[in-house]
């Protein structure tokens, strides 16, 4: 085989810290080790109102999961150690971990406090080498931070993340380009980013098959998927085949300032919801009135914990509280009109330009 025309193989690494917040708490409090640890909110004898942010594997054995109401977590495992979110500490650890990761490539895209993509293309010559890099990264993170992470390596971001899921916890998994499509064929269609329960139900109807696998969805042509889902459809066509063309790009740290309110009782009392919302907008505005902002987001969590956001962007500038309120109140009202469900939480945040 002539190598002269051979293109550089894309090699992307995805790193994800294991049960991050809870693992940091274990590190800080060795006496917690081996016991179920739940980071999130105060359960107050099962009457607490927040949600589980992260929990360790011992807590997961009781059925506790991220995003679950803290009251439910308490009922599942009242003897668990419940801790508030110590975001300052987690951010500090996150910075330290990414400082280590950054040394492996100048091209790194942070996705959250504990997840990032690292582009190894051109830096390593083969998947074998990439595995060694990944093993080194895991080792150094553990030596310096006493925390475990998982790593996936593959030909693009989507596949690297899937590989990482398979590696969890405390592992590394390589999916070479030739293995990619085959590896995901037997996975659920919801493995594909962007395919949620609604899209899955639609696919189920079209296929007349429950819980379809990715291989089942390969029967759809590109134009069929575009008909079903518009622009996203074409993307799905490729992703179902293990292809994802999105580049690894270091985004400027999107800074936002926001506030949320959880109601004492789930409610549809519009007057009260609007009153609380107005206060949130005022609070947020007072924090950012000297800063340029270029967008806002309204968050709504319904009684069943389904959480939605609506956002708008505008030109970067300093804005009055009235402006922010006028722009955002219509978004809030849509949440009230688009569903009959009661509302549990509302939030408001702005993006700093
Ligand atoms: Mg994680």
CA-based diameter of the chain, in Å? 72
- 168 plus 194 within the same structural domain: no
Report the number of distinct structural domains present in the chain: 3
pLDDT score for 1: 45
- 284 plus 148 within the same structural domain: no
Calculate the CA 329 to chain-centre distance.
26
Last residue of a domain, one of 175, 210, 239: 239
CA of 126 to the centre of ligand 1 (A): 26
- 232: domain CATH number is 1.10.150
- 153 plus 210 within the same structural domain: no
What is the rounded CA–CA span in Å between residue 223 and residue 134? 39
What is the rounded CA–CA span in Å between residue 58 and residue 26? 12
Q: Which residues pair with 55 in a beta bridge?
A: 38
The single-letter DSSP state of residue 291 is S
What is the rounded CA–CA span in Å between residue 87 and residue 30? 19
Q: 196 is in which domain, residue-wise?
A: 186-239
What is the rounded CA–CA span in Å between residue 213 and residue 195? 12
Please tell me whether the overall predicted TM-score, pTM, comes out greater than 0.85 for this model. no
Calculate the CA 100 to chain-centre distance.
21
CA of 199 to the centre of ligand 1 (A): 25
Residue 205 resides in a domain: yes
pLDDT score for 252: 66
CA of 18 to the centre of ligand 1 (A): 5
CA of 134 to the centre of ligand 1 (A): 16
Listed residue (77, 35, 81, 42) closest to 58, CA to CA: 35
Q: What string of pLDDT tens digits covers the 353 residues of the chain?
A: 444 445 678 999 999 999 999 999 999 999 999 999 999 999 998 888 899 999 999 999 999 999 999 999 999 999 999 999 999 999 999 999 999 999 998 899 999 999 999 999 988 989 999 999 999 999 999 999 999 999 999 999 999 999 999 999 999 999 999 999 999 999 999 999 999 999 999 999 999 999 999 999 999 999 999 999 998 999 999 999 999 999 999 876 668 899 999 998 999 999 999 999 999 999 999 999 999 999 999 999 999 888 899 999 999 999 999 999 999 999 999 999 999 999 999 999 999 98
Which two structure tokens, joined as six digits, stand for 324?
């922010």
- 203 plus 329 within the same structural domain: no
CA of 164 to the centre of ligand 1 (A): 10
- 282 plus 317 within the same structural domain: yes
- Residues annotated as catalytic are 115
CA of 28 to the centre of ligand 1 (A): 18
């Amino acid at each position: 085989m002539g190598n002269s025309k051979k293109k550089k193989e894309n090699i992307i690494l995805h790193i994800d810290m294991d049960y991050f917040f809870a693992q940091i708490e274990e590190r800080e409090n060795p006496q917690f080790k081996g016991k179920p640890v739940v980071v999130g909110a105060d359960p107050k004898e099962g009457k607490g109102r927040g949600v589980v942010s992260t929990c360790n594997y011992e807590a997961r054995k009781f059925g506790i999961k991220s995003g679950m109401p803290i009251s439910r977590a308490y009922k599942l495992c009242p003897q668990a150690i419940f801790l508030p979110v110590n975001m300052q500490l987690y951010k500090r650890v996150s910075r330290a971990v990414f400082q280590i990761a950054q040394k492996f490539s100048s091209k790194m895209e942070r996705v959250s406090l504990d997840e990032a993509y690292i582009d190894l293309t051109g830096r390593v010559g083969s998947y074998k080498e990439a595995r060694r890099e990944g093993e080194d990264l895991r080792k150094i993170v553990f030596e310096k931070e006493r925390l475990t992470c998982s790593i996936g390596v593959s030909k693009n971001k989507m596949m690297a993340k899937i590989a990482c899921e398979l590696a969890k916890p405390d592992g590394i998994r390589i999916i070479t380009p030739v293995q990619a499509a085959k590896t995901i064929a037997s996975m659920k269609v919801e493995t594909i980013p962007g395919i949620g329960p609604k899209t899955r139900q639609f696919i189920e109807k079209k296929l007349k098959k429950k819980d379809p696998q990715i291989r089942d969805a390969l029967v759809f042509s590109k134009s069929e998927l575009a008909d079903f889902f518009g622009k996203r459809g074409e993307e799905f066509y490729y992703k179902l085949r293990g292809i994802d063309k999105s580049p690894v790009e270091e985004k400027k740290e999107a800074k936002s300032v926001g506030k949320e309110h959880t109601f004492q009782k789930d409610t549809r009392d519009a007057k009260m919801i609007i009153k609380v919302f107005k206060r949130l907008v005022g609070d947020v505005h007072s924090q950012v009135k000297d800063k340029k902002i270029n967008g806002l987001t309204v968050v709504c969590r319904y009684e069943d914990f389904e959480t939605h956001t609506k956002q708008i962007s505008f030109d970067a500038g300093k804005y009055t509280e009235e402006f922010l309120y006028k722009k955002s109140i219509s978004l809030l009202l849509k949440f009230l009109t688009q569903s009959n469900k009661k509302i549990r939480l509302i939030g408001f945040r702005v993006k700093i330009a």
